[in-house]
Amino acid sequence: MARILDGKAIQQQILEELKPRIARLAAARRPPGLAAVLVGENPASQIYVASKVKTCRELGMHSEELRLPEATTTEELLERIEQYNEREDIDGILVQMPLPKQIDSRRVLLAIRPEKDVDGFHPFNVGQLVANAPAPRACTPAGVMELLRRSGIEVAGAEAVVVGRSDIVGKPMALLLMHAHATVTICHSRTRDLPAVCRRADILIAAMGRPAFLTAEFIRPGAVVIDVGINRITDRAEAERIARGAPAKLAAFEKNGSVLVGDVHPGDVAELASAYTPVPGGVGPLTIAMLMANTVECAEKRLG
């Protein structure tokens, strides 16, 4: 039986460990503060931001959510970021991606002061990651590393294969695994014979955004499989394909008219892996936990 790596339980551990640090800051000076900026009406982004703000509040941190209209210009957004850069009581600034098309995302990322960049996307912090120097790390890959560490999965010396090379997941993921002494292969849409490369993996990380794409032929028996993907399925035929060996997925589809799945086939991974993360309840909760951890750390640095 494959072991299910319970992201929610590990999230709770991390949040519990943050509480005394938040209390110390609150007693000495003030609680850590996070500003979350949401531009437009993307429903998934609204849910993500609401859940981040809620978690902050549950932990006793200060958090504010700034909602701006879809038609916001780059200049208008930069002005609001500058205000947060200047505010003493804000330690972390998060701009929820993706931004509407008219906004220059790169200028926005560059505008956030690196010491308040709790998403770890500022080029300075990316450079620090490449150099393995301290700085806020991108939350999702950092969350995967915490999950591996706290689940007792040996990374040093392991063959790790990362499928996906985005700036927010695949690339930082590969760098973190390399710094933890894995032998890392990065795959993407031009990789030749993806199944064969994936089957080399002791640790397989899927970050593609392709529902249940990685099926049995991609998974080496006994591998640890980390599924970063979050895809909402609304098509019945697709739900039935995915539900092979994972009937709960079809039941969820019947009930809600849609179902969340990762990039890995849930039935196949349960049969072949030694351990794996479910979707939902795997990597997602860790992303929020690491955002909280980054905010606390930024506050500790700023407040000395």
Q: Which stretch binds ligand NDP (CB under 6 A): 10-18, 35-43, 206-214, 248-256?
A: 206-214
| Start-to-end C-alpha separation, the chain | 48
Give the one residue of 24, 106, 188, 301 binding ligand NDP; rule: CB under 6 A.
Answer: 188
Distance between CA atoms of residues 147 and 2, nearest Å:
16
Q: How far is the CB of 228 from ligand NDP (least distance, A)?
A: 4
Q: Which two tokens stand for residue 30?
A: 């003030």
Q: How far is the CB of 239 from ligand NDP (least distance, A)?
A: 17
**CA diameter of the chain:** 57
Query: What would the x/- binding string for ligand NDP be over residues 249 to 278, using CB under 6 A?
Result: ------------------------------
H or E stretch covering 128: helix 123-130
Q: Which stretch binds ligand NDP (CB under 6 A): 150-158, 168-176, 237-245, 247-255?
A: 168-176
Contact call for residue 284 and ligand NDP (CB under 6 A) = yes
230's CB contacts (< 8 A; 6+ apart) are 260, 262, 279, 280, 284
Distance between CA atoms of residues 93 and 91, nearest Å:
7
Q: Which stretch binds ligand NDP (CB under 6 A): 67-75, 224-232, 240-248, 269-277?
A: 224-232
Q: Which two tokens stand for residue 289?
A: 């936990």
13 has catalytic annotation: no
257: alpha, beta or left, given left = phi > 0 and alpha = psi -120 to 50? left
Partnered with residue 64 across adjacent β-strands are: 35
Give the one residue of 179, 210, 241, 244 binding ligand NDP; rule: CB under 6 A.
Answer: 210
Q: How far is the CB of 41 from ligand NDP (least distance, A)?
A: 18
46 has catalytic annotation: no
Contact call for residue 246 and ligand NDP (CB under 6 A) = no
11 has catalytic annotation: no
Distance between CA atoms of residues 178 and 183, nearest Å:
6
Which of the residues 11, 91, 116, 119 is marked catalytic? 119
CA dihedral 282, 287, 289, 293 (to 10 degrees): 150
Kindly list the catalytic residues.
52, 96, 119
Residues that bind ligand NDP (CB under 6 A): 140, 163-166, 168-170, 187-191, 194, 207-210, 228-231, 283-284, 287
